[in-house]
A and B are shown apart, each in its own frame.
Chain A
């Protein structure tokens, strides 16, 4: 192979006598959180352009969804954002409930909120560890996983699975809580609060960490809206929007919780917002556990759920990453005519160039980590 084919030569940049070059980051790369493929134009260490290249793990999920019933679709959404599978399931269930007019028992609604919020914490813990690892603090990754494990164990006892839980059903949840769940959940919550204080001392207060994240990867509020960002990423840019509060679903309107908002829009702001979200989730869980009623966990529903012909149903939820929405159009049969998902990560990766152009290559990794991408969610 000729050397010239190996290194693509570009015209020199305006800045000086340097050559720009293209670098393929991924699909196999330790910092792309799975198999994201970034094509990066670099000038030395400085990033000039980032092009996310999707399609490496495209699975035609939306097309598959058209050939499956709504019930079968639930487990398919586990495989989108696998760290928010309860929330994804919730969106599908709400679509089915609205289309077929199914009511959800009180207890099931509370269980949904509790496991959703537990999973939000679980997802953020994994993000915290991975983000710290992207910056080079390797031990933090294991610390995050150690705490996450406690919640994963609860889920394993609850529904038998540790990652793709498939727990929600239209009209309720699959099984009732096991004996001792409430105690386990309370214990996990107090452990998380303790761990968060520890993380504060270990990573947040670290001078190197602050140097690496403050002022890096700034996304303005207008750009955040323009790119369709949501969740922690948008809230860190000053966009005060949370689906749980502003478009309440389930019984989220019964709980009091804060929506943390920062205005800086940099990696540190995104970090702070997500750390605070964990504390707020703990608050929601504690309120829900206090009010948890007894009763049925599953409403009576027809065995085959059909979306009426021509009916279009749109429901959105707040996952750990942002707003996840499902739109389904029915044709009167057991399978929907058209299903469309709106995943938060897709929009965030689109904004990656906006945030990282002009920063160093190490910052690109920091910025990508701060967006908390889950690749199967971006590339369906």
Chain B
């Protein structure tokens, strides 16, 4: 079995405790309007349109599949910009043992790994296999997830990861649909289950200037406080990027939201 991997980083300070190797899976079931990495949403359909736009000849077609030559690539980003499918041809098919080998190379430098995306649970079976392999090798594995996965599957998966870092995009179901294209009942059902099972390291909310987060902060903080007030609630400032040049929320707004979270019982709030 192979996973479609967008990329990996040998070190990160913001994807869980300590230094973590982060693996970004390709493909997501949400399409958030403010997504920082929209090219990770869809898997490449091998249409080949990008090939002609690659000035360093790093892209070619073989057996009706796009081949990406990492050594020739100069990361100019044109392929992503011209993709009509909002995807990236620069992905790799990796096996679990490929990834384990990659982890072993840096194992003295990390507290563990974090599997992110895209949405890692979209490649459920590959993810499960990777998590099992990590467990066998005693590698701490976290998942960064939007928690929009069938409840039974999440329950099954939770046996194999150490902690999850689920997102709460926004509390209002209406706004959630508007923002992501999906409803959020499942998200809350999963998060509640994970909290109960002590499987949550932190909950994350991106604070996007178009929405009012007062209600979200209240509900999530209450939820955290009702299980374990020490679970981190990370409030991530939206930062303008690519074509989305909306302004970041001000420091005052972030501090106000932090105070609200504290008021509703959270004791470990990080503004990022």
Partners in one complex: no
